[in-house]
Chains A and B, each alone.
Chain A
Amino acid sequence: MLFYILRRFLYTLPIAIGVSLVCFALVHLAPGDPISAILPENASPQLIEEVKTAYGFDKPLPIQYLYWLGNVVSGDLGTSIMTRRAVLSEVIPAVGNTLILAACAVLIGFVVGIGLGTIAGYNSGSILDKAVTAFAITGVSVPHYWLGMVLIVLFSVNLGWLPATGMGSLGSGELPFTLDGLKHIILPAMTLAVIPAGIIARSVRATVSEVRKQDFVQTLYAKGLTSRYVFVHVAKNAAPTVLAIMGLQLAQLLGGSILVETVFAWPGTGFLLNAAIFTRDLPILQGTILVLSIFFVVTNLAVDVLQMMLDPRVKRV
């Protein structure tokens, strides 16, 4: 298994390089210029050249890319064009904030999704099942942006129970273990949790329902096992499939959400990317996407390993 993990980990390198290459090319193909956002309206050709040289944009694109890649290998993701801060010092707090939000959303989404999916799977065809399915479809279909605004209007503006935006008085990088911090995280976490909750509920429902139809479940009942013990076996058999889906959802949440983080002014990776896209802040875009792609690959790897541990039948070549 160690060899497998090592090999999979090595796979992350070409994936990360591929992602960064695509990102680099896309940003340069887009209209506008990486330095246009910082140049004054009447920048002279001389100033444009000086700035390009200072920021390394005077070299051919492949050379620029190789320079960047070389620095990344030595642990330097570059410097933001807009803020002149080190990219790493921008990305790390943003990743931390997204992780905090994602952890809460995961907690809500997975608990609700697994709970409702299991109930529906055990009551296949009933009104309860239909209600859960309706919830799941709504959850999957509802636009994040819209739901976030609705929750803000309801809980912040009309009821005044929860704050509408930001991370609260603690600010970036602090864990929300204060009442103020928790209050700030509830709405964005709920918004973010709805889609994974819907997807997981549907998957769990389908898997549980499928597993319950298998012969071994009837055998277990016939042997006189109580429902509680049978449930444990059903859960164990359903786990690998559900885990794979949960892994994808987890990775997606860790990647941050541009829309949700912008609506709630939550200073995570989505918020960072949004600002970087509009200001053509190439180093920030490159650095953030690289870190996120590594995250995505590593999360998937972790899920795969977990699946193997739970179900040895899942063989990896």
Chain B
Amino acid sequence: MKRQRFWGILSAVAIATLMPMHAAHAEKILRVATTLADVPLTTGQPSQGGEGARFIGITIYDGLINWDLSKEKEAAKLVPGLAESWTVDLATKTVWTFKLRPNVKFHDGSAFTADAVVWNLDKLLKRESPQFDQAQATQGATYVAPIASYRKIDDMTVEITTKAPDSVLPYLLTQVFMSSPVRWEEMGRDWAKVASKPSGTGPWILDKLVPRERAELVKNPNYWDPKRVPASDRLVLMMMPDPTTRVAALLSGQVDWVEAPPPDTVPRLKQSGMQIVTNVYPHIWPYQLSFTEDSPFKDIRVRKAANLAIDRDGLVSFLGGLAVPAKGQVNEGHPWFGKPTFEIKYDPEEAKRLMAEAGYSQDKPLKVKFLVSTAGSGQMQPLPMNEFVQENLREVGFDVEIEVMEWEALRARRRAGADAPENKGGHGLNNSWGYWDPDIGLLGPAWSVMRPPSGYNWGGYKDAEADKLAAQAKVEFDPEKQNDLLGQLHARMVDQAMWIWVVHDLNPRAMSPKVKGFVQAQSWFQDLTPVHVD
């Protein structure tokens, strides 16, 4: 009897001990090594740019409008998010009406309504509101900049009025994330406390936050879009800014997925059976050119020559195939590519001819200076790539001086504009660029009214034709017609050789062969919901 009792107790203890272990083992975990040094802001508007939005923005939160990240063969498009539909008043072209999606709940169980939208916009725009948060307002400033006012029409309808007609608003609203007012109240109206227990409507819920180390997210089984309920139970985001460390972590089995493996590690990763996933996305590695009075790039022959002098295939090969040669600001096949007549290719003879026509040769080279960074977001391998281009340009009659600086210093120089005193003598700026929305991609760089600091036209490019097309595209609300106008604008930019376009990054990721379900969208953002480890 005693013996039976002993074995009974032992069995009970064993079962009690093993059950949680079994449960833990059954949990499907996806471990991702990011390039970030710290977890981005988790309260709503994430910090740290595109990567912040990729891992903390679109995972925990939704915008009124979302990106469709389910296709790899075409550029990502806008799809309804927390708004089921939206219309613009064609009379004023400034008043937008958003019909909200019913029955959506925040992670804390509270309902998503028009009040929550107004509350979130107050959080970013209304300084006197108690929920105003400077940190989030700073991060979201770009995306709410066109908004003049907003109001609740009814529980499920919101009206937003812009300062001027602005067809780009839907793109911007993908980055305005909705946090829960109820959670903010629960946390004593303290955003610092909300940070460790945020509540959005997204497919993932933040479970654990260890600053500088990792964020652990668990799946939201009640996500409003059943097709996007995560296939993994837990997503562990690890902060690993050092690229070699990330690769070592993948090879040693500590993580399942690493962002941006260095090109020289790709053969080793492939050899170990790792998947290398790539796709074009709205990224360009260019030289933004100065059009100030003393800039030689005011001469279109010089701009065209520079574009024809670069052996892009050689550079791609140097990058281990992790890039594609650029034919313009946007990649070929993109809806905004249009029909440029100037073909960007490697033609050193034609480049030499154009340079000779402009009065320069290898014996009488044109001295130019490019500002470049040592590293930075989207900058790829800036130093060797710049040296490669420098050599190419030298062969057709350029004498390129490279001024190297740290990434934040380069950003400050870009924000100042080419005509700022600190940029005097700088003829080009090697700052990688994105084109996920018309403003940043085409309108900002090409429209003469968009000068820094609030615009993206660093060099002061001014072209009447480009200005006309940009102005039309900004107020064209029919997406098809807008794409057509943007295509014409892009063709004009290429024909005018507005910048020197070099390559598009292929956004490489390396992952264990056990990782399944990932579709790499043509976007800076990626959907982790279908991904799981077998």
Contact = CB atoms under 8 A, between A and B. Distances in A.
Interface of A: 30-33, 36-45, 47-48, 50-51, 54-55, 82-86, 90, 93-94, 149, 152-153, 156-157, 160, 163-167, 171-172, 262-265, 267, 271-272, 274-275, 278-280
Chain B interface helix/strand/loop/mixed: mixed
B251 interface: yes
Given A42-B453, A163-B254, A265 B134 contact: no
A40 B141 contact: yes
Contact of B444 (A36, A42, A54, A278): A42
Contact of A43 (B47, B191, B244, B415): B415
B212 A165 contact: no
B212 A280 contact: no
B141 A82 contact: no
B249 A165 contact: yes
Interface residues of B, number: 48
Given A47-B138, A85-B192, A262 B242 contact: yes
Contact of A166 (B238, B412, B444): B238
A274 B245 CA distance: 15
Interface string B369-385: 00000000000000000
Contacts of B245: 152, 164-165, 262-265
B18 interface: no
A32 B47 contact: no
Contacts of B214: 166, 171
Contact of A47 (B141, B241, B254, B452): B141
Nearest to A86: B192
Interface stretch (B5-13, B402-410, B464-472): B402-410
Main secondary structure of the interface of A (DSSP, over half): loop
16 contacts: A32-B406, A32-B412, A41-B456, A42-B454, A42-B455, A43-B415, A44-B141, A45-B454, A54-B134, A84-B191, A165-B238, A165-B245, A166-B254, A265-B249, A275-B212, A278-B408
Given A152-B252, A171-B210, 17 more contacts: A31-B409, A40-B138, A41-B142, A45-B454, A84-B135, A152-B248, A164-B245, A164-B248, A164-B252, A165-B249, A165-B254, A171-B214, A172-B210, A172-B211, A265-B242, A271-B212, A275-B38
Contacts of B456: 41-42
B376 to A, nearest CB: 9
Nearest to A39: B138
B408 A265 contact: no
A157 B240 contact: no
B205 to A, nearest CB: 19
Given A45-B454, A90-B211, A167-B213, A36 B251 contact: no
